[in-house]
Amino acid sequence: METDIIRARDYLNEGQLVAIPTETVYGLAANATSTKAVQRIYKAKGRPSTNPLILHFSSLAAIRPYTKEIPEEVEVLAKAFWPGPLTLLLPKSGLVPDIVTAGLPRVAVRIPNHPKTLTLLRQLDFPIAAPSANPSGYISPTTAAHVKQQLGDKVAFVLDGGPCARGLESTILGWNEDGYPTMYRKGVITAEAIENVLHRLPENHKSKTVEAPGMLSSHYAPHTLTVLATDVTMAINEQQGKRIGLISFEKQYQNSLHGIQKEMVLSKDGSLEEVAQKLYAAMHTMDDGELDVIIIEKVPETGIGKAINDRIQRSTQ
Ligand code: AMP
Ligand code: MG
C-alpha cells in the first residue's frame, strides 16, 4: 500500500482530521463513530452543528449495520451508481452518533469513486464522516492545493488524489413519508438517470425546513461579489467601471467585449461534464484575482446543467 494511504489511515485511527480525495470534491474526514473526532470536523469548518454529515463506506455490506433497513430500491441504485456521486438518506441505526446526523433520524451514506479513498476505507474498521473540506459556506475544494490553502493548518494530513473528476457535490436522494423518491440536492446523477433505473421520477424536495443545508440559498460562495448572467453582454455593461472577472460557458467574450479584466472559458466544446469539473477551480482562481465582481455565465438547463446552474445560483447570494 502507498505510504500516503498508510499515513492517512494512522491519523484517522488516532481520531485526527484527514482531507481525502473523492470524485466530487475533497472531503474533510474523521472517524464517524467517534463523537470527539466528528466534533473536530465541525470546529475546523466553522460548520453549524445543525448541518449533518455524509458517511463514506467502501461497500454496501459495510453500510448495513449503520442503517435500520436497506430498501430494495437502494440495492438497485447501489448497483447502478456506486461507487459514485450519489448520497442516500436512510434510517440510521444506533451505531451512528447523533452528532453525525445533527439529531435527525436518517443518515446520509455513499460509496465514493476514488481509488485512493476506497483503498483507505478498506483499511479502516469504521466509516468516515466527510463534508466538503472548505470553511463553511465557501467554495468547495477540487484540488489538494485548495484544501491546503483553506484548511491547511487545521488538518493532520491531506491525501492528494489529484483534481476531482466530477467536480460537483453528490446528488442527495431520500424517500418521503409516502416512500416516494425525493431529491434533496442536485448533482451529476440527474433525476432522469435515477428514473431510468427506478422507473419513477424523483420529485424535488420542497419543504421550507432545512433538512439538507446544501439547499440553503447562500452556499458555495466566493468572497468577491458574484453575479449569474443569462446575457453576458448585458451583465458586463451593468458592471462597467469595475474590475470584472468572467467565467464563461463555451464562447470567449474578451475579444469582442470591453472591460473584462480576466476571462476563463470552462468548455470550448460545450461539454457540461467539463464545466462541472472545472467550475469550482475557476471560482477559486477568480476569487484570488483582486477583482470587484465575478460574472458567471448560465449554462443550458439540460442534464447536469441543472445542478451546475443550481450551484452558480447559490454562489451569487
Ligand atoms: P457537504 O458534504 O459539505 O456537501 O454537505 C453534506 C450535505 O448532506 C449537506 O447538505 C447536508 O445537509 C446533507 N445531509 C447529510 N446528512 C443528512 C441527513 N441526515 N438528512 C438530510 N440531509 C443530510
Ligand atoms: Mg459542503
25 close to 87: Cβ distance less than 8 angstroms: no
Structural domain includes residue 97: yes
Q: In terms of domains, do 177 and 116 share one?
A: yes
Report cis status (omega within 30 of 0) of the bond before 97.
Answer: no
For ligand 1, whether the C-beta of 54 sits within 6 Å is yes
Q: Look-up: residue for cell 460548520?
A: 47
Q: What is the pLDDT of residues 89-106, one digit of tens each?
A: 999 999 999 999 999 999
Same structural domain, 64 and 177: yes
- Say yes or no: 195 and 236 in one domain: no
Give pLDDT, residue 206: 82
CB atoms within 10 A of CB 15: 15
Tell whether ligand 1 has an atom less than 6 A from the beta carbon of residue 89: yes
Strand ranges across the sheet with 54-56:
157-158, 18-20, 27-31, 128-129, 54-56, 106-110, 86-91, 171-175, 181-185, 203-204
pTM exceeds 0.85 for this model: yes
Question: Which of 22, 38, 54 for mutating ligand 1's site (highest number of atoms within 8 Å of CB)?
Answer: 54
Ligand nearest 91 Cα, by number? 1
Same domain for 13 and 153: yes
- With beta carbons less than 8 A apart as the criterion, state whether 10 and 148 touch: no
Of 169, 204, 239, the one marking the end of a domain is 204
Do 191 and 132 reside in the same domain of the chain? Answer: yes
Within a domain: 79: yes
User: Which residue has the least CA distance to atom 2 on ligand 1?
Assistant: 131
Residue 50 carries which side chain, given as an amino acid letter? T
Decide whether any atom of ligand 1 lies within 6 Å of the 212 Cβ: yes
In a domain, 291, yes or no: yes
CB neighbours of residue 164 within 10 Å: 25
Same domain as 127, residue 242: no
- How confident is the model at residue 103, as a pLDDT? 96
Residue 42 CA, ligand 1 centroid: distance in Å:
13
Tell which wins on pLDDT, 312 or 220: 312
Structural domain of 107: 3-204
Is the distance from the beta carbon of residue 300 to the nearest atom of ligand 1 less than 6 Å?
Answer: no
**Residue having the nearest C-alpha atom to atom 12 of ligand 1:** 212
Domain count, the chain: 2
Residue nearest to ligand 1 atom 7, measured at CA: 214
Mean pLDDT score of the chain, rounded to an integer?
95
- How far apart, in whole angstroms, are the C-alpha atoms of residue 75 and residue 82? 10
pLDDT band at 1 (very low <50, low <70, confident <90, very high): confident
pLDDT at residue 292, as a whole number: 97
- Residues 44-75 have pLDDT tens digits of 999 999 999 999 999 999 999 999 999 999 99
Q: What is the pLDDT of residues 161-211, one digit of tens each?
A: 999 999 999 999 999 999 999 999 999 999 999 999 999 999 999 865 555
Is residue 257 located within the same domain as residue 182? no
Q: Is the pLDDT of residue 143 over 80?
A: yes
Helical segments of the chain, H only? 3-13, 35-45, 60-63, 72-81, 98-101, 115-122, 144-151, 191-198, 232-238, 272-287, 305-315
* 159 and 82 both lie in a single domain: yes
Look at residue 309 and tell me whether its pLDDT is greater than 80: yes
Mean pLDDT of 23-47: 98
Q: CA torsion 272→273→274→280, rounded to 10°?
A: 90
Amino acid letter at 300? P
Q: What is the mean pLDDT of residues 31-38?
A: 98
Residue 66 · residue 55 · CB < 8 Å = yes
Asked whether 84 lines ligand 1 (CB < 6 A), one says no
Q: Are residues 239 and 163 part of one domain?
A: no
Looking at the fold, whether 47 and 184 belong to one and the same domain comes out as yes
Measured in Å, residue 47 CA sits from the centre of ligand 2 at 9
